[in-house]
Amino acid sequence: AQTVTQSQPEMSVQEAETVTLSCTYDTSESDYYLFWYKQPPSRQMILVIRQEAYKQQNATENRFSVNFQKAAKSFSLKISDSQLGDAAMYFCAYRSAGSQGNLIFGKGTKLSVKP
């Protein structure tokens, strides 16, 4: 069974600075997808960024980028120029490329942004 581990329960960053959230996963599959979701205090789950395992190029969405290391099974999220609105829980998630499309989530990292 696949597992996702986020080793940082809490992180803090100064406004305008850069922060990296860590995620590792375990799988025997070669084809899969990885995601970062943001959950602000409103509790809404918001997709931040996604990565296909077969793509070597790291995904980027504006201030958000990932460092995908397939051999190491690592998938970190970098937030540049942090803003107060980035404060939230961040979840790393895995999805098989096979017939089961459900997401497997890590425990989450709570990010605080200091003004």
Partner 1 sequence: DSGVTQTPKHLITATGQRVTLRCSPRSGDLSVYWYQQSLDQGLQFLIQYYNGEERAKGNILERFSAQQFPDLHSELNLSSLELGDSALYFCASSVGLAGGLSSYNEQFFGPGTRLTVL
Which residues sit at the interface with partner 1, rule CB under 8 A? 33, 42-47, 50, 52, 91, 96-108
% helix, strand, coil for the chain, step of 5:
5, 50, 45
Alpha-carbon span 102 to 67, nearest angstrom: 23
Report the nearest approach of partner 1 to the CB of residue 9 (Å). Answer: 11
Report the nearest approach of partner 1 to the CB of residue 32 (Å). Answer: 10
User: Which CB atom, from 38 or from 86, has the smaller least distance to partner 1?
Assistant: 38
User: Which CB atom, from 5 or from 14, has the smaller least distance to partner 1?
Assistant: 5
Cβ atoms of residues 114 and 15 within 8 Å: yes
User: Which CB atom, from 9 or from 115, has the smaller least distance to partner 1?
Assistant: 9
Q: CB neighbours (10 Å) of residue 8?
A: 16
